Structure 1
Amino acid sequence: MVARIYKPSRNAMQSGVAKTKHWVLEFEPEHARMVEPLMGYTSSADMRSQIRLTFDSKEEAVAYAQKRAIPFQLFEPHEAGRRKIAYSDNFSFNRAGQWTH
């Protein structure tokens, strides 16, 4: 079973960066999830899907996987290219664009 090592991205619904500073090791699912017919619960017989390990650095996560002979895929994080702009810049005299209203 292959493990994924990645750094989680930030929540799209908020501007904060909580829970994005650590690296995560998770196992890929072996079997598809199934819907229980009576109650409609989604379940899985794969116990490794419940394991989620966090590490302070990428090197620690890779060393853990190599020490235990776990095959892994490493996904590098994509840094967001965000502009830092103040709200007052919308009302600046040197504004580049035209007002639309």
Structure 2
Amino acid sequence: MAARIYQTPKNAMQSGRALTTRWVLEFEPAEAKRPDPLMGWAGSGDTREQVQLYFADAEAAKAYAERQGIAYHVVAAPERKLKLQAYADNFR
């Protein structure tokens, strides 16, 4: 049972940064997804894949994983790249 701990990224569809300070503990898939014979939807018998636990910081998520005996790895958040430009730059 392995898990991944990461910080939630900013939603690409909105300009706000709400809920980007929380950390998520998410279990790695234990088995491959397979198509359902009737509907064709992808699914598996692994119910842990549906679980997401939210924490205020990375240390709390790590402490929980260690306390429960869950092997984990932390995925670092990508560095934010600001593209500073002015409206006047469109007319150069």
User: Shorter-chain TM-score: what band?
Assistant: 0.7 to 0.9
1:90 matched to 2:79? The reply is: no
Q: Does 1:12 align with 2:9?
A: no
Give 1:15 deviation, angstroms.
Answer: 2.1
Residue 83 (structure 1) shift: 3.6
- Structure 1 vs Structure 2 CA RMSD: 1.9
Runs of 4+ in 1 over 6 A off after TM superposition: none
What's 2:79 paired with?
A: 79
Distance 2:87 2:48 in 1: 50
Compute the displacement of 1:47 (Å): 1.2
- Read off the aligned partner of 1:78 and give its amino acid letter: P
Matched residues in 1 for 2:87 and 2:36: separation?
A: 53
Q: Distance in 2 between matches of 1:77 and 1:41?
A: 31
* Alignment partner, residue 30 of structure 2: 30
Report how far residue 18 of structure 1 moved: 2.6
For structure 2, the 5+ residue unaligned runs are none
TM score, norm. by length of structure 2: 0.85
More strand by share: 2
Aligned length: 92
| Alpha-carbon separation, structure 2, partners of 1:17 and 1:10 | 6
Per the TM alignment, residue 26 of structure 1 is displaced from its structure 2 partner at its CA by: 0.4
